[in-house]
């Protein structure tokens, strides 16, 4: 069951990164966030999984925030 969830997360977020890909910051944040999510699923720790999602969301928002000088 964990393998199915892991592949589902990879497929959904991988598709999103292909659509949204606009730089190396997003790509590195995506890979790091995905690794943290998989670690959270493997260790069965919800907080680590949520941390991975937050890392991925911040990596998608970071280039826009840098562009507008926030």
Cα gap 20→62, rounded to integer Å? 13
Within a domain: residue 1?
Answer: no
Rounded alpha-carbon distances, angstroms, from residue 41 to 10, 21, 52: 12, 25, 10
Within a domain: residue 12?
Answer: no
pLDDT at residue number 68: 66
Sign, CA torsion 36/37/38/41: positive
Within a domain: residue 59?
Answer: yes
**What percent of the chain shows pLDDT beyond 90?**
10
Residue 69 pLDDT level (bands cut at 50, 70, 90): low
Q: What is the mean pLDDT of residues 42-61?
A: 88
The pTM score is 0.61
Both tokens of residue 29?
């944040």
Range of the domain at 34: 22-70
Q: Which residue has the higher pLDDT, 68 or 26?
A: 26
Residue 70 pLDDT level (bands cut at 50, 70, 90): low
Within a domain: residue 16?
Answer: no
């Amino acid at each position: 069951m964990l393998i199915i969830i892991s592949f589902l997360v990879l497929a959904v977020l991988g598709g999103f990164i292909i659509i949204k890909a606009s730089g190396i910051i997003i790509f590195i944040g995506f890979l790091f966030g995905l690794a943290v999510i998989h670690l959270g699923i493997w260790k069965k720790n919800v907080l680590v999984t949520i941390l991975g999602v937050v890392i991925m969301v911040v990596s998608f928002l970071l280039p826009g925030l840098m562009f507008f000088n926030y």
